[in-house]
A and B are shown apart, each in its own frame.
Chain A
Amino acid sequence: MEISSDLIIIGTAVLVAANCASIGVFLVLRKMAMMSDAISHSVLLGIVIAVFAVGGREPVAVIVGGVLSGILTISLVELLYRSGKLKQDSSIGIIFPFLFAIGVILVTQAGNVHIDVEHVLYGSIEFAPFDTLYLDELNIGSKSMWVLGILAIANVSFIVILYKELKISTFDKSLALSAGLMPLLVHYLLMIMVATTAVVAFESVGAILVIAFFIVPASAAFLLTDRLSRMLIISVSLGIISAVIGYLFAIFADVSISGSMATITGIIFGLVWIFGPNRGLVSRWRRISKQRFEVDLVIVLTHIHKELGSDRQVSTSSMSNSLGWTKEYSKKLSEFIQEQKFVEKNTQGNFTLTNIGLKKVENYSN
């Protein structure tokens, strides 16, 4: 079975993206995004200890060690946090650098562990095609693809089977508690899935890309929809798109693959943030300026009505003086109200209200 190495790298990345982006939705919604930061760093310690214990890079031992250290991280953070001595974010910021530091020292002090500390951060997805799995001496394809594929099945079944529980405990914890949906159990199961996903993904792409895939596509999806099911689909799609574009860019520019993928997730997030429908910065700004214009229309018509009532004249220049607007804005508004036939200009350049305008003003004052 021979697949080209490009396809294996893209496949690995796509599987990592899908795994992380789906679980990441719940992290973002539950305000636990930085937990993925903590877990994906402290996983190093578990992997190093597992390698020591078994004497080699056995995939099962590495995954078990990593998951255990992930659970250790979560438990320590919650222990510190629940003791009331520290806030949650401080607990995270103390536990993971500590565990990571121990991991780094173990790696550098023991010469026989084949772990490159820098590669821990940005992974070595480039080598995914060369790490193949053998079944009875038969090459059955890339190891990372197999492991990630199994993980994807586990993640999908986790989300599908516990969808109701996850959804309710995410949005309304007390309802989940009273409905007997065991939010605490769901919480710990979710954390175990996060740890497993982080370990497996970490092995192929490194800590930073794991965090990027966990948080960034899910955050972008959060800005695009209000439905959980859609958010999951959008998040996974954005993750996969970033993986593919990131890989192509990395090959084109001859730069780090995982770094390039992380950057692309950020660019996609930035595009959604600025240009997204409804919640994007541009559409928000448009909406706000439209609302402001409508309010100013009311102000200017009432102003003209009042001034005419007390026998004073209103022109474009007097408008900008008395209402404190710039000349350009007053000109724009006065042109608009003339176009709409709310007012007419007489020969001296002063405004008089038409019947339509008068009706409009009366509408406002009612």
Chain B
Amino acid sequence: MILEEILSIFLGIFTDYTLRYVALGSAILGITSGALGCFTVLRKQSLFGDAIAHAALPGIGFAYLFAGTKDSLLLMLGAAIFAWFGGMITLAITNTTRIKQDAALGITLSVFFGLGIVLLSYLQSIGGASQGGLDRFLFGQAAALIESDVINLGILSALCFTILILFYKEFKITTFDSSFGQSLGFPIKYLNVLLTSVIVVAVVIGLHTVGVVLMVSMLIAPAAAARQWTSNLKNMIILSAIFGGLSGIIGSMISSTAEGMSTGPVIVITITAILGISFVFSPKQGYLFKHLRNQRKSQISLDNIKTISDKEKENHGNI
């Protein structure tokens, strides 16, 4: 019975028109943010994604204010510009003051988001219901994805992956040993800006599906889960993309079963569950195998003690 139900949900991807695009859009997001998230996690910039996702909100407001349409490509452009700007402000604060990165991220996040809310409320006050479509960027609304949105997301994602493949070696070197990269003559400064820009694109893709608040999870969780299974960057990126894509598909399928359940939070819970599973079951670092190994080790040492004490008894007889 249950199996049948699961099967019918799964088949829904092929038959149900809405679900197909929702799942596809979420998968695209998961794959892109999963792959690029590896770099943010390895560069200890995990919360950077959180800050720039929040910083994107005023961009959506401005794009709508000036262009007056809800054309998704235009809104995404506005979002990208502000997300990028927010990222640069964060870097500028840490570079020119004694304020540490965490506070700089908090400043960008809260102030830009506050500005975004001001703009959205302004749009609401001048245009009546026009704000309705913009609200969905807060928590995302994968259920509202249509064919043209998914095509746009696909193009953006392809752009990210092209840059990632072209600059893979450069990104790798700036991530692990930027001073070495500098000594080899790589333009580290520009590469950092390029990498930030690609992450901005991933964040903008995420605004449609999981929204600004939960976006950070899509960048960190797949990468952290992949990190439990491998120490090789290439494998980590591939695995992380798979985890992200999988959680997008599973999350959108689960959320389609219940009325009014928003997709974004379900996707986030799914990817966190994958992370939890990785913590327990990964062969090298997982709790389960560590526990088994420790047990075996203590058994071996117990055996050793036993044989030693037996030998002692043989040698000295009963004292």
Residues of chain A at the chain B interface (Cβ within 8 Å)? 27-28, 31-34, 36-37, 41, 85-87, 89-90, 92-94, 97-98, 100-102, 104-105, 108-109, 117-118, 121-122, 208-209, 211-212, 214-216, 218-219, 222-223, 250, 253-256, 258-263, 265-266, 269, 273, 279, 281, 284
How far apart sit A3 and B114, CA to CA, in the bound complex (Å)?
28
A121 → chain B closest CB, angstroms: 6
Structural contact, B111 and A97, CB atoms closer than 8 A: no
Structural contact, B265 and A90, CB atoms closer than 8 A: no
Q: Can you pick out 15 interface pairs between chain A and chain B where the beta carbons lie within 8 Å of each other? A: A33-B100, A87-B41, A89-B45, A93-B217, A97-B268, A122-B117, A215-B103, A215-B106, A216-B106, A222-B103, A250-B118, A255-B121, A262-B117, A266-B107, A266-B110
Task: Please name the 7 residue pairs, one residue from A and one from B, whose CB atoms are nearest each other, closest first.
Answer: A262-B114, A266-B111, A259-B117, A101-B265, A97-B217, A212-B110, A215-B106
**B138 adjacent to chain A (CB < 8 Å):** yes
B97 → chain A closest CB, angstroms: 6
Structural contact, A94 and B109, CB atoms closer than 8 A: no
A268 → chain B closest CB, angstroms: 10
Q: 7 more A-B contacts (CB under 8 A) besides A93-B49, A94-B275, A263-B118?
A: A33-B100, A37-B50, A100-B265, A109-B258, A121-B113, A122-B117, A211-B106
Structural contact, A101 and B102, CB atoms closer than 8 A: no
Structural contact, B106 and A98, CB atoms closer than 8 A: no
B 237-270 contacts with A by CB, 8 A: 258, 260-262, 264-266, 268-269
**B98 adjacent to chain A (CB < 8 Å):** yes
Question: Taking each of B50, B116, B275, which has the highest tally of chain A beta carbons within 10 Å of its own beta carbon?
Answer: B50
Residues of chain B within 8 A (CB-CB) of A93 are 46-47, 49-50, 216-217, 219-220
Residues of chain A within 8 A (CB-CB) of B50 are 34, 37, 93
Residues of chain A within 8 A (CB-CB) of B316 are none
Residues of chain A within 8 A (CB-CB) of B113 are 121, 208, 259, 262
B45 → chain A closest CB, angstroms: 8
Interface size on B, residues (CB 8 A): 59
Residues of chain B within 8 A (CB-CB) of A253 are 118, 122
Structural contact, A85 and B217, CB atoms closer than 8 A: no
Structural contact, B47 and A100, CB atoms closer than 8 A: no
Given contacts A87-B46, A98-B268, whether A266 and B106 have CB atoms under 8 Å apart is: no
Residue of A nearest to B273 (CB): A98
B 102-161 contacts with A by CB, 8 A: 102-107, 109-122, 125, 135, 138-139
How far apart sit A136 and B168, CA to CA, in the bound complex (Å)?
70
Given contacts A37-B109, A90-B46, A219-B99, whether A100 and B214 have CB atoms under 8 Å apart is: yes
Residues of chain A within 8 A (CB-CB) of B97 are 223, 273, 279
**B24 adjacent to chain A (CB < 8 Å):** no
Structural contact, A262 and B111, CB atoms closer than 8 A: yes
**B285 adjacent to chain A (CB < 8 Å):** yes
Residues of chain A within 8 A (CB-CB) of B217 are 93-94, 97-98, 101
Given contacts A102-B265, A211-B106, whether A85 and B99 have CB atoms under 8 Å apart is: no
B 69-92 contacts with A by CB, 8 A: none
Residues of chain A within 8 A (CB-CB) of B110 are 208-209, 211-212, 215-216, 262, 265-266
How far apart sit A109 and B139, CA to CA, in the bound complex (Å)?
15
Residues of chain A within 8 A (CB-CB) of B213 are 41, 97, 100, 121
B242 → chain A closest CB, angstroms: 18
Q: Scoring B residues 45 to 76 as 1 if CB is less than 8 Å from chain A, else 0, what string do you get?
A: 11101100000000000000000000000000
Given contacts A33-B106, A90-B46, A256-B120, whether A263 and B99 have CB atoms under 8 Å apart is: no
Structural contact, B114 and A89, CB atoms closer than 8 A: no
**B279 adjacent to chain A (CB < 8 Å):** yes
Residues of chain B within 8 A (CB-CB) of A209 are 110, 114
Residues of chain B within 8 A (CB-CB) of A108 are 260-262
Residue of A nearest to B123 (CB): A255
Structural contact, A279 and B98, CB atoms closer than 8 A: yes
Given contacts A92-B46, A118-B135, whether A208 and B114 have CB atoms under 8 Å apart is: yes
A139 → chain B closest CB, angstroms: 30
**B44 adjacent to chain A (CB < 8 Å):** yes
B 207-228 contacts with A by CB, 8 A: 213-214, 216-217, 219-221, 224, 228
**B33 adjacent to chain A (CB < 8 Å):** no
B264 → chain A closest CB, angstroms: 7
A259 → chain B closest CB, angstroms: 3
Residues of chain B within 8 A (CB-CB) of A273 are 93, 96-97
How far apart sit A139 and B138, CA to CA, in the bound complex (Å)?
37
How far apart sit A108 and B103, CA to CA, in the bound complex (Å)?
32
Question: Taking each of B103, B125, B265, which has the highest tally of chain A beta carbons within 10 Å of its own beta carbon?
Answer: B103
Select one of B119, B135, B220, B228 contacting A90, CB under 8 A: B220
A241 → chain B closest CB, angstroms: 15
How far apart sit A104 and B220, CA to CA, in the bound complex (Å)?
20
Select one of A36, A86, A97 contacting B214, CB under 8 A: A97
